[in-house]
Amino acid sequence: MEIQNINWNYPTAMWFGLNRIKDIQKACDDLNIKNPLIVTDPGILQTGIINKINNSLNQSANIFSNVQSNPTGQNVDEGVKQFNQNGHDGVIAVGGGSGMDTGKGIAFMSKQQRPLWDFEDIGDWWTRANSEVIFPIIAVPTTAGTGSETGRASVFTNETTKEKKIIFHPKMLPSVVILDPDLTIPLPPALTAFTGMDALAHCLEAYSSHIFHPLSQGIALEGMKMIKDNLISAFKNGQDLKARANMLATSSMGSIAFQKGLGAIHSLSHPVGAIYNTHHGLTNAVFMPYVLIKNKEVIEDKIINLSRYLNLKNESFNTFIEWILEMRRELNIPHTLKELIKEDNLFEKMSEMALSDPSTSTNPLELNKDDFLKLYKDSFNGSLEL
């Protein structure tokens, strides 16, 4: 099937198709960006992606790449310093969630007078920001999972408290998103798997959430169908441009869908990532079946309907869990948390952090600290009872 070049506006301008990175100068012109700062991570610098971007600009842009896999407040502060010293007027955020989140954070914070943590996604804290001094953002995702390109928030680790915090403002939404599947070709199989499972977690938790949002519900449902049809293909053959293109679209769909909310998969994953610096998508993938079974009593009917839409061999909750487990095996995803972290002495602390995580409020089943503690222990030991 031929890959179409097409523009969408949902919720922002999205330019999709092969070699769309060549339109990066047009994006800058449309947003009146004269001196962009490219924000990315060290891994992207080892590829030819930044050269492709700079070759498509009228003049090469400066680069900020001191970004950790789980970006921190300090990463944003250092980027803000470079942004202001060089008089930049916009950001081109390139990469997976770390590069895009940091780029969005830099564009947001460069002229703010309050610290980053004053804009955590709590109530109306976002109104504390000066909305008139937030610079435009162009997002160029090179993985297919995080969906940060269609989100109005970024996630950063507070180095002092070892907690992940969601920073939110409506103007953190990128103004233009360039979805070029050719840029995802260098992504190695393991990261293809981890980021793909992250997209699945976004769609699955949004679909399972009890919040009424039929637009997101439909997007989540179709997103999971596309993941089923394309993730294994992209993992096994990274040159499969059709699968890469579909997964890139699905990543954005997952982020749009979780306007409806997330759940305990993310609540459990955030503390582990903040403390142990694990890959977010991988950690989500490990927790996924344990949380599904915990939520079974309130989501079973939804999962049966989902199984029907995915054309699984049987339309049942257990068949869906078996599909998740089989896909994880094909993607070489570990079954236990013990394979990611070697200790369990912080489970009490992490359970408190998970309970207070913003994702917990939209989990379909109300959970308490003891529930999270048991989920950590079960996932650590591989205790999964269908």
pLDDT tens profile 14-56: 999 999 999 999 999 999 999 999 999 999 998 999 999 999 9
Closest C-alpha among 105, 166, 179, 94 to residue 135: 105
> Are 164 and 281 part of one and the same domain?
no
Q: Considering only the C-alpha atoms of the chain, give the largest distance between any 2 of them, rounded to a whole number of Å.
A: 60
Q: Is the pLDDT of residue 240 over 70?
A: yes
With cut-offs at 50, 70 and 90, classify the pLDDT of residue 163.
Answer: confident
Interacting residues of 321 by C-beta distance below 8 A, sequence separation 6+: 289, 292, 293, 386
Residue 69: predicted pLDDT: 86
> Are 17 and 96 part of one and the same domain?
yes
Q: Is the pLDDT of residue 224 over 60?
A: yes
Residue 262: predicted pLDDT: 95
Tokens (6 digits) for 234: 């992209």
Residue 11: predicted pLDDT: 82
Query: Does residue 1 form part of some domain?
Result: no
The separation between CA 51 and the C-alpha centre of its own chain, rounded to angstroms, equals: 24
Residue that finishes a domain, picked among 183, 208, 229:
183
Tokens (6 digits) for 223: 């997103």
CA distance readout (Å), 298 to 54, 199, 336, 356: 50, 22, 24, 21
CB 263 within 8 A of CB 359: yes
Residue 145: predicted pLDDT: 86
Interacting residues of 162 by C-beta distance below 8 A, sequence separation 6+: 274, 275
Query: Does residue 96 form part of some domain?
Result: yes
Give the CATH number, domain containing residue 134: 3.40.50.1970
Query: Does residue 14 form part of some domain?
Result: yes
Residue 1: predicted pLDDT: 57
> Are 142 and 36 part of one and the same domain?
yes
CB 128 within 8 A of CB 114: yes
Q: Is the pLDDT of residue 4 over 80?
A: no
> Are 293 and 171 part of one and the same domain?
no
Residue 9: predicted pLDDT: 66
Cα torsion angle, 286, 212, 147, 225, sign: positive
d(CA 140, CA 137): 10
pTM of the entire predicted model: 0.91
CA dihedral of 185, 98, 246, 54, whole degrees rounded to 10: -50
Which residue type occupies 179? L
Quickly count: other Cβ atoms within 10 Å of residue 208's Cβ. Answer: 26
Query: Does residue 375 form part of some domain?
Result: yes
CB 216 within 8 A of CB 260: yes
> Are 168 and 24 part of one and the same domain?
yes
Q: Is the pLDDT of residue 8 over 70?
A: no
Give the CATH number, domain containing residue 289: 1.20.1090.10
Query: Does residue 386 form part of some domain?
Result: no
CA dihedral of 261, 174, 223, 227, whole degrees rounded to 10: -120
> Are 234 and 358 part of one and the same domain?
yes
Quickly count: other Cβ atoms within 10 Å of residue 332's Cβ. Answer: 10
For the segment 254-279, the average pLDDT, to the nearest whole number, is 94
> Are 193 and 314 part of one and the same domain?
yes
> Are 159 and 195 part of one and the same domain?
no
Looking at the 3D structure of the chain, how many domains does it have? Answer: 2
User: Could you identify the residue written with the tokens 């003891």?
Assistant: 370
> Are 220 and 144 part of one and the same domain?
no
Note down the domain range covering 205: 189-381
> Are 230 and 318 part of one and the same domain?
yes
Residue that finishes a domain, picked among 133, 155, 183:
183
> Are 256 and 321 part of one and the same domain?
yes
For the segment 221-231, the average pLDDT, to the nearest whole number, is 97
DSSP 138-202: EEEE-SSS--GGG-SEEEEEETTTTEEEEEE-GGGS-SEEEE-GGGGTT--HHHHHHHHHHHHHH
Average pLDDT, the chain: 94
Query: Does residue 33 form part of some domain?
Result: yes
**132-149 residue pLDDT tens:** 999 999 999 999 888 999
Residue that finishes a domain, picked among 128, 162, 183:
183
Burial 110-134 (b: 16+ CB within 10 A, else e): bebeeebeebbbeeebbeebeeeeb
Interacting residues of 46 by C-beta distance below 8 A, sequence separation 6+: none
Query: Does residue 114 form part of some domain?
Result: yes
Q: Is the pLDDT of residue 151 over 70?
A: yes
> Are 114 and 237 part of one and the same domain?
no
